[in-house]
A and B are shown apart, each in its own frame.
Chain A
């Protein structure tokens, strides 16, 4: 595609319940502030998968009742998505968006096959979790919100995004949250996770745009100061410090 950065959102009308698709806005805005051209492409439900390999794919959370329909719509595109990922496309998968791209989903007593593009089996949890989620990670202390019904079981050897300081995360005994490898970030931190935690956004953008990308622009510094204040308010309310010790 023609722009320096192309971000594809998948079925944003269905997967923006928590504002997850707006991470595309965060990525394109930050890229533009750093002097790059950037575009957001929306793949709408019912349309064929857009042509041209995007640099980043964002798949957010949908409500449970629409998950089977989204899976049906995604399945014919599985080969294309896999090819993109193998060619270097980064994937940001959030909440049920991760579940769709993962291996299996436990839904209403049945086990649905996911796209198996990412590791992770979404299994019955101990009830819906809707609360703040704080995670210590190589990107620093990540602060956000989780709202999910299922837990995620990762295969042995997977690298989680970080360790839960407050909240449930993947729901595993080792307090793992999310999943990360070179091309994938999967997490329960929903909504504007990249805006609230710009270290994650900048890591993704540096991977795609290379060393020419910088977050040291006036608009980025202003929003990042705002994000720091927002994280700090939440951490303080939870009796935590806003930065991790690592």
Chain B
């Protein structure tokens, strides 16, 4: 009952915010409740009968979370999960407010939350997750001079809160290091790829430091084969085929993370057949391979989060795409660090846009990529691109960084 006044006020604020600005102000109720009742968030997240699962890491969080939720639901659990954009404390509190009763409880068995490493490290000390799933450490933006160490430190803070299992990517040397210093009693549940899968990715998988050896199949969940959207995984010694939401080894690794996480949560109740079937039915996340119908045509949207994901995504694109759009926005403070990426396989980009359009065009042109138009006005550029004739091969493909993704979604009314 302690939180009832705060919850009521939060709901009033939510109504007021919606009246004032349609669809806007969703973080405001969270802000208000976090002020009025600072313990609301941790108390609510501690109230799920099957506990709390946190998914964090540099990239792959959204897809992994979505897959893990699908597997748990396929096993009959009612899952509370956060919308992927609501990573911040206020957003999470707001999302909880939508579902909570006045006693501060949510009708669900378990919570599965995606958290970025910075935010997660801030609120983790108040939380006691049963399972923590970590995806990887990749070199990030402007703070990159300390970056991988700093990111690993934040993930370490989150990992240290795990009361049951720590699910880690055994191909990521920094996560292995972190697992070596886990709290006593925490069980390690590793996942990874086979030597063959790694060898098929000559540029590696983008981790800041790749582990020297691969995970043995008997020791965890291992991706043994990837071919387009088909993959095979070894789970507890059994081989299982799965269908990925989109092309690319990184999605198979996300599936391995989700399966290892589900095994940690479900224990003896885990059914590998049911789990792989439900993962195969997971639709891709927007910007991570989802194909969307926009203005009567199919368009694929590809989010580039850092140099590693830029390279992985470029390498995973179907060859010979001839209608590409690429936007780089103000979230990329300094485009220099994208220069090591070999973008030559793009061949030709029809329209380059975003506030960093010229810098992007410069990099592409030095890589031998032909650039059609450079248009700083993102909305206008998107309209131009969508008005182009249908591609000769594949589908129209939009590549963008996070800021341009937000603006593109808003312009096209994709929510």
Contacts and interface: CB of A to CB of B under 8 A. Distances in A.
Contact of B336 (A18, A64, A229, A233): A18
Interface stretch (A20-28, A170-178, A209-217): A20-28
Contacts of A233: 355, 358
A229 B361 CA distance: 10
Given A192-B336, A226-B358, A226-B374, A29 B145 contact: no
8 contacts: A19-B340, A22-B366, A64-B145, A130-B333, A191-B336, A226-B374, A227-B358, A229-B374
B297 to A, nearest CB: 29
Interface residues of A, number: 31
Interface in A22-63: 22, 25-26, 29, 63
Interface in A190-246: 190-192, 195-196, 219, 222-223, 226-227, 229-230, 233
Given A147-B142, A147-B145, A226-B374, A191 B337 contact: yes
- Determine the main DSSP class of B at the interface with A: helix
Contacts of B149: 65
Contacts of B359: 230
B362 A223 contact: yes
Given A17-B139, A192-B362, A226-B358, 11 more contacts: A18-B336, A19-B340, A22-B339, A22-B340, A63-B144, A64-B146, A65-B149, A130-B142, A147-B142, A147-B334, A192-B363
Contacts of A103: none
A145 B362 contact: no
Q: Which 9 A-B pairs have the closest CB atoms?
A: A191-B336, A19-B339, A230-B358, A229-B358, A22-B339, A145-B334, A18-B336, A226-B362, A19-B336
B338 interface: yes
Main secondary structure of the interface of A (DSSP, over half): helix
Contacts, number: 74
Interface residue tally of chain B, by bracket?
A: 20 to 34
Residue of A17, A21, A26, A29 with highest tally of chain B CB at under 10 A: A17
A192 B339 contact: yes
Interface of B: 139, 142, 144-146, 149, 333-340, 355, 358-359, 361-363, 365-367, 374
A149 interface: yes
A21 B340 contact: yes
A128 interface: yes
Q: Which of B335, B363, B366 has the most CB of A within 10 A?
A: B366
B336 A230 contact: no
A63 B355 CA distance: 28
A18 B337 contact: yes
A191 B358 CA distance: 15
A19 B337 contact: yes
Contacts of A26: 366
Nearest to A144: B336
Contacts of A18: 334, 336-337, 339
Contacts of A25: 366-367
Interface string A129-173: 010000000000000110101000000000000000000000000
A177 B359 CA distance: 23
Contacts of B334: 18, 130, 145, 147, 191
A18 B143 CA distance: 11
A16 B307 CA distance: 12
Contacts of B361: 226
Contacts of A227: 358, 362
Contacts of B145: 17, 63-64, 128, 147, 149
